Amino acid sequence: MELLINSMKQSPASIISIFGFFVLLLLLLAAAGTPVSADHDGTTGPHDDADKDGWTVEAGDCDAILNTYAGPITAEDMGQMPNCKIIARYGIGVDTIDLKAATEAGIIVTNNPTYCIQEVAEHAMALMLACARRVAFFDRQVRAGEWNVMAGKPMFRLEGSTLGLLGFGNIAREVAKRGAAFGMNVIFADPFVEEGQFGVPAKKVENDELFREADLLSVHPPLIPQTRGMLNDDVFKVMKSTAYIINCARGPIIDTDALVRALDAGEIGGCGLDTTDPEPLPNPHPLRDRDNVIINPHAAWYSIEAMQGLQQGAPNEVRRVLSGEWPINVVNRDVKGSSRAGL
C-alpha cells in the first residue's frame, strides 16, 4: 500500500509505504517537514497547485491521500489515481476537492469537523470584542505615542446588542452560547436548522431580517457555489451603518470588492476578518491600514489542543478505510456501496 501526503509547496508531496502505519506516519510528518495545518468551518491558507504535476505523477499508485492545503483535486487528478480509496482532509473545508468526481470515481472523502470548534468560536468572540471595544485601534494608537480615549468613538457594549449568525453549524452554535452569556440578543439564519433544534438560545430569522437587525454579523456557512460572494453590495446596503462583520469561516463568502465599497461609503461600521479573499491578503490592499478593520492571518483554528485533534483525525480515517472499516466523517456519503474500498 502507498500513501500520498498531499500538502503545500513548502513540502513537496511524497509517497510512503504504510508499514507500522501510525508510528511511521507520525515520524514522517515530523522528519519530512510535512506541515500539519488546518482549514475550518469551514479554512486555512493559500491553495497551491504549483507542484501539482509532481504530486499527481507520484500519486499514481497511492491507496490514500492525506490532504492539507494543496488543491484543487479535480476529476482529472483522480483519473490518474486508479488505486486511491480515500482523500482525507486534515481540516474542515473540502472546497478544494471535486466531491462529485470523487463520488463517481468511488473515492471516499473525509474531513475533520470537530477539532477546532472551541477555538474558532472563541476567536469570533475575540474579534467581536476587539471591534466593539476598539482594542486593536487603541493598541496602535498608544504604540504611536498617543493617548486619546475619544479617538476610539463610536464604541458600544455587547450586552443588549444583536448578534446575527449566518449559518448555524457546530461553530456558530458555540458562538451563540457565548453571545448569550454576554447578554446579546442572538438570531440566526440557516435553511437546514429549525429553531430550538439544538437547545441553543437563538431565534431563527430569514436572511433579510438577519442582515437588517444584526449589530454584529458572524459568518459561518461552508464555502459552496451558493455561498460564494453571498455578502455583497445588496447585503451591505441593508445592514446598519454601525454593524460589524466577523468572518472566521471562508474568505470568498464575502465579496471583497463589495466590502471595500461598503467601508468607503460608510454602509457598515467595520469588520474583523480571520479569513480573506485572496489569502494571504496582498500588501498593499485597500482593506489594510483601516482603523475599523481587523485582519488576522487565518489563525482562528489554532491551539495546542486543536493541533492534537488535527494530527489524529485524517490518519485515523485512512487507517479505518484501509482496514476495511467505514470512516466516521464522510463528506460524500453517496459513495457508500460503490467505493473502491469495497465499503
Phi/psi at 251 (5° precision): -55, -45
* Statement: residue 15 has pLDDT above 60: no
pLDDT digits (tens, 9 = 90+) for 91-108: 988 988 999 999 999 999
- With a pLDDT cut of 70, the percent of the chain lying above it is 84
pLDDT value at residue 51:
53
Average pLDDT over residues 141-152: 96
CA-to-CA distance for 270 and 236, rounded, in angstroms? 11
272-297 burial, b at 16+ Cβ within 10 Å, e below that, comes to bbbbbbebebeeeebbeeeebbbbbe
| Confidence bin at 228 (pLDDT 50/70/90) | very high
Question: Average pLDDT for residues 51-59, to the nearest whole number?
Answer: 69
Are 72 and 26 in contact by the 8 Å Cβ rule? The answer is no
Instruction: Give the three-class secondary structure for 89.
Output: strand
pLDDT value at residue 1: 58
- Of residues 89, 250, 320, 340, which has the active-site annotation? 250
Considering the chain, what is the average pLDDT of its residues?
87
pLDDT over threshold 80, residue 214: yes
Q: Could you tell me the sign of the dihedral formed by the alpha carbons of 80, 82, 88, 94, in that order?
A: positive
The reported pLDDT for the residue numbered 270 is: 98
pLDDT tens readout for residues 311-330: 999 999 999 999 999 999 99
Going by pLDDT thresholds of 50, 70 and 90, the confidence category of residue 60 is confident
Q: Which amino acid is at 63?
A: D
Quick one: pLDDT at residue 70? 74
Q: Which of 40, 89, 173, 298 is catalytic?
A: 298
In the prediction, which pLDDT does 288 show? 97
CATH code given to domain 2-115+303-335: 3.40.50.720
Predicted model pTM: 0.82
Could you give the CA distance from residue 339 to residue 105 in angstroms, rounded to a whole number?
8
The pLDDT assigned to 4 comes to 58
Reading phi first (left if > 0) and then psi (alpha if -120 to 50, else beta), residue 289 is in: left
37: pLDDT strictly greater than 80: no
Identify the active-site residue in 89, 279, 317, 320: 279
Residue with cell 472563541: 122
Sheet with 293-295, side-by-side order of all strands: 203-204, 185-189, 162-166, 216-219, 244-247, 270-273, 293-295
298 is catalytic: yes
Q: Where are the domains of the chain?
A: 2-115+303-335, 117-295
Q: Residue range 4-13: average pLDDT?
A: 41
Q: With pLDDT > 90 as the criterion, what percentage of the chain qualifies?
A: 78
Task: Pinpoint the alpha helices (H) of 34-181.
Answer: 52-58, 75-79, 99-105, 117-132, 135-143, 170-181
Residue 42 confidence (pLDDT): 35
* CATH superfamily to which 117-295 belongs: NAD(P)-binding Rossmann-like Domain (3.40.50.720)
Residue 17 or 211, more confident: 211
Least confident of 67-76, 200-209, 235-244, 303-312: 67-76
- What are the residues whose beta carbons fall under 8 Å from the beta carbon of 99, sequence distance 6 or more? 109, 331, 332
Residue 279 annotated to the active site: yes
Check if 250 is active-site.
Answer: yes
Q: Would you place residue 247 in the very low, low, confident or very high pLDDT band (cuts 50, 70, 90)?
A: very high
**pLDDT greater than 80 at residue 28:** no
Domains 2-115+303-335 and 117-295 share a fold: yes
Is a pLDDT exceeding 90 seen at residue 85? yes
